[in-house]
């Protein structure tokens, strides 16, 4: 099993370009099921979750693969979908698989997707996805761990989500594009990935207004067609690379990213004392001193993203004084804390908050984590730790970061992958 070995202490400097957004891509791939003919996605990151989604689309009977000429383009043609059933093996590995349910029922009249169950970062129910699809008239049945949704023709409806859910908003929005009449989604997620999905659906022929606000209005249309779409840069990968720059007191330019989608992250990074400057498609960070103490509270967009909480915490471990990080989105997203403590960090957990007292050094150790962002946090910590940090279970990182060790290496990090 692969592991990543980092010799900490090198100051990172230079320029690095982010890959396309993993989370945007996964929703866009599900949306391809709605269009007649082929959808082509460019700037797709070469990460494990994308491979899972390709495998899932193929299991449904769609043609779905990487382009033969371009290693960052995927082509999806749903015309041959035969068995609208997402198998447990794939859904279990990746919860985002559940996003195919809305498109399947809207386009093919029925969909069967295994109940995803819990995952490393919390219980993560899917009740809001189901509430939305039911409101659109889909009949939902749970049969031996498989959720079935039927509905010959969905009907527009007014739906108010009880909690803000990104994939739930996307799933129901996709289903509503082919419903009869108007659907209004209230308390919708406002993430850039929701906006990007709405933009692509509109180019496929959908009529969606308000994406990016908490009220999305969808006028159903009879059919959608496949399109070509270029996936935007990954704001969480960008944030992770900036954190790597900060923890090594480096000077790093991250390109291929719209900084507007990173406002809350960049604000917090500035509060730590890092110098941040932006252009339309890049962010530059320079950090010369230990970070100042800050308070971070994760919450849905436009607030600070839960997906960057762990990586920023690594930086705060070497801060000048005490910081507090509060996680409000997921109930179990502090798995990196015990590992950081093993590296010498001083962190006390108190319910949903982590109290971090800055220390002057972190010490390398063998570490492992059980989810993607926790693993990224350990990579960041390893870059500044004294000695050789070995990050095990690298497959978590490979789910969402493309060639991260090569990118860090290009910035001067002493990092290698071992098989
Ligand atoms: N929730 C419910 N009921 C639902 C759906 C969600 O109670 O029906 C709760 C969840 O349990 C959680 C909160 O709502 O407490 C927010 O979850 P959300 O549904 O927004 O998460 P998601 O859509 O399943 C996406 C990203 C995650 C990211 C979250 C929050 C994808 C593929 N995944 O998940 O990304 O953390 O939004 O921003 O888009 C990651 O990339 O590492 C990752 C986990």
pLDDT tier, 183 (very low <50, low <70, confident <90, very high otherwise): very high
pLDDT of 327 > 80? The answer is yes
DSSP code for 181 = S
Q: Are strands 110-114 and 85-86 parallel, antiparallel or unpaired?
A: parallel
* Mean pLDDT of the residues in the chain: 96
pLDDT at residue 93, rounded to an integer: 86
Is the CB–ligand 1 distance for residue 118 below 6 Å? no
pLDDT at residue 76, rounded to an integer: 98
pLDDT at residue 234, rounded to an integer: 98
Tens of pLDDT, residues 289-298: 999 999 999 9
Whether omega before 53 lies within 30 degrees of 0, making that bond cis, reads no
pLDDT at residue 111, rounded to an integer: 95
The closest of 321, 319, 341, 212 to 269, measured between CA atoms, is 319
Tens of pLDDT, residues 11-54: 999 999 999 999 999 999 999 999 999 999 999 999 999 999 99
93 or 415: whose pLDDT is higher?
415
Rounded to whole angstroms, the Cα distance separating 95 from 52 reads 10
Reduced to 3 states (helix: H, G, I; strand: E, B; else coil), residue 207 is strand
124 or 224: whose pLDDT is higher?
224
pLDDT of 121 > 70? The answer is no
pLDDT of 302 > 80? The answer is yes
pLDDT tier, 165 (very low <50, low <70, confident <90, very high otherwise): very high
The closest of 353, 407, 349 to 383, measured between CA atoms, is 407
Query: Are the CB atoms for 110 and 84 separated by under 8 Å?
Result: yes
| Gap from CA of 313 to ligand 1 centroid (Å) | 20
DSSP 313-356: HHHHHTSSSEEEEE--S-TT--THHHHHHHTT-EEEEETTEEEE
pLDDT of 249 > 90? The answer is yes
Is the CB–ligand 1 distance for residue 168 below 6 Å? yes
Tens of pLDDT, residues 216-228: 999 999 999 999 9
Tens of pLDDT, residues 359-381: 999 999 999 878 999 999 999 99
**Tokens 């494990």 -> residue:** 48
pLDDT of 1 > 80? The answer is no
Is the CB–ligand 1 distance for residue 159 below 6 Å? no
pLDDT at residue 68, rounded to an integer: 96
119 is known as an active-site residue: yes
Mean pLDDT of 299-325: 97
DSSP code for 358 = -
Is the CB–ligand 1 distance for residue 96 below 6 Å? yes
Residues contacting residue 132 through CB under 8 Å, at least 6 positions apart: 102, 159, 161, 168, 171, 172, 175, 185
Query: Residue 355's beta-bridge partner residues?
Result: 324, 348
Sheet containing 346-350, strands listed edge to edge, beginning at the edge strand earlier in sequence: 295-297, 322-326, 353-357, 346-350
pLDDT at residue 219, rounded to an integer: 98
Residue 126 Cα: closest atom of ligand 1 = 8
Catalytic residue among 110, 119, 377, 409: 119
pLDDT of 405 > 70? The answer is yes
C-alpha dihedral, 369 to 372 to 374 to 380, nearest 10°: 110
| Other CB atoms within 10 A of residue 186 CB | 12
| Gap from CA of 166 to ligand 1 centroid (Å) | 6
Strands (E), 174-310: 182-186, 207-209, 215-219, 224-225, 228-230, 251-255, 275-279, 282-286, 295-297
* Candidate of 24, 48, 124 to mutate for ligand 1, largest count of ligand atoms within 8 Å of Cβ: 124
pLDDT at residue 89, rounded to an integer: 87
Residue 330 Cα: closest atom of ligand 1 = 15
Reduced to 3 states (helix: H, G, I; strand: E, B; else coil), residue 390 is strand
Is the CB–ligand 1 distance for residue 250 below 6 Å? no
pLDDT tier, 88 (very low <50, low <70, confident <90, very high otherwise): confident
pLDDT at residue 145, rounded to an integer: 86
Helical segments of 100-140, H only: 101-108, 127-135
pLDDT of 96 > 70? The answer is yes
Is the CB–ligand 1 distance for residue 165 below 6 Å? yes
Helical segments of 144-228, H only: 166-176, 192-203
Atom 29 of ligand 1: nearest residue by CA position: 166
| Gap from CA of 418 to ligand 1 centroid (Å) | 32
pLDDT at residue 122, rounded to an integer: 64
pLDDT at residue 332, rounded to an integer: 84
pLDDT at residue 92, rounded to an integer: 87
* Candidate of 160, 303, 329 to mutate for ligand 1, largest count of ligand atoms within 8 Å of Cβ: 329
pLDDT of 117 > 80? The answer is no
Is the CB–ligand 1 distance for residue 190 below 6 Å? no
pLDDT of 346 > 80? The answer is yes
Is the CB–ligand 1 distance for residue 47 below 6 Å? no
Atom 15 of ligand 1: nearest residue by CA position: 330
pLDDT at residue 118, rounded to an integer: 60
pTM, entire model:
0.97
Q: How far is CA 95 from CA 72, 172, 187, 325, 364, in A?
A: 23, 16, 22, 26, 32
Buried b (16+ CB within 10 A) or exposed e, 124-163: bebebbbbbbbbbbbebeeeeebbbbebeebbbbebebee
pLDDT of 124 > 90? The answer is no
pLDDT at residue 418, rounded to an integer: 92
């Amino acid at each position: 099993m692969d592991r990543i070995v980092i010799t900490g202490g090198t100051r990172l400097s230079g320029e690095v370009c982010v890959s396309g957004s993993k989370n945007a891509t996964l929703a866009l791939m599900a949306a391809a099921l709605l269009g007649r003919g082929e959808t082509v996605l460019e700037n797709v990151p070469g990460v494990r979750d994308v491979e899972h989604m390709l495998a899932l689309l193929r299991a449904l009977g769609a043609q779905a693969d990487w382009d033969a000429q371009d290693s960052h383009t995927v082509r999806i043609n749903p015309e041959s979908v035969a068995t609208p059933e997402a198998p447990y093996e794939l859904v279990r590995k990746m919860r985002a698989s559940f996003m195919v349910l809305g498109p399947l029922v809207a386009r093919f009249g029925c969909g069967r997707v295994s109940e995803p169950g819990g995952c490393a970062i919390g219980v993560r129910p899917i009740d809001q996805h189901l509430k939305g699809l039911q409101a659109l008239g889909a009949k939902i049945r749970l049969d031996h761990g498989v959720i079935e949704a039927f509905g010959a023709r969905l009907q527009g409806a007014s739906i108010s989500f009880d909690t803000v859910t990104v994939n739930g908003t996307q799933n129901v929005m996709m289903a509503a594009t082919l419903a009869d009449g108007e659907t209004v989604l209230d308390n919708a997620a406002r993430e850039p990935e929701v906006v990007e999905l709405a933009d692509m659906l509109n180019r496929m022929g959908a009529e969606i207004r308000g994406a990016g606000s908490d009220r999305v209005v969808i006028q159903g249309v009879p059919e959608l067609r496949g399109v070509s779409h270029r996936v935007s840069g990954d704001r969480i990968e960008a944030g992770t690379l900036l954190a790597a720059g900060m923890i090594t007191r480096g000077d790093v330019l991250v390109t291929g990213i719209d900084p507007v989608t990173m406002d809350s992250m960049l604000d917090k990074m500035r509060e730590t004392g890092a110098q941040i400057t932006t252009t339309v498609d890049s962010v530059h960070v320079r950090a010369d001193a230990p970070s100042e103490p800050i308070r971070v509270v994760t919450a849905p967009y436009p607030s600070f993203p839960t997906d960057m909480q762990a990586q920023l915490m690594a930086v705060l471990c070497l801060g000048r004084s005490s910081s507090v990080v509060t996680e409000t989105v997921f109930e179990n997203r502090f798995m990196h804390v015990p590992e950081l403590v093993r590296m010498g960090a001083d962190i006390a957990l108190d319910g949903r908050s982590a109290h971090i007292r800055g220390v002057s050094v972190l010490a390398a150790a063998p570490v492992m984590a059980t989810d993607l962002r926790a693993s990224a946090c350990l990579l960041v910590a390893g870059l500044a730790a004294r000695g050789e940090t070995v990050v095990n279970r690298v497959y978590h990182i490979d789910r969402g970061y493309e060639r991260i060790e090569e990118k860090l290496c290009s910035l001067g990090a002493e990092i290698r992958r071992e098989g």
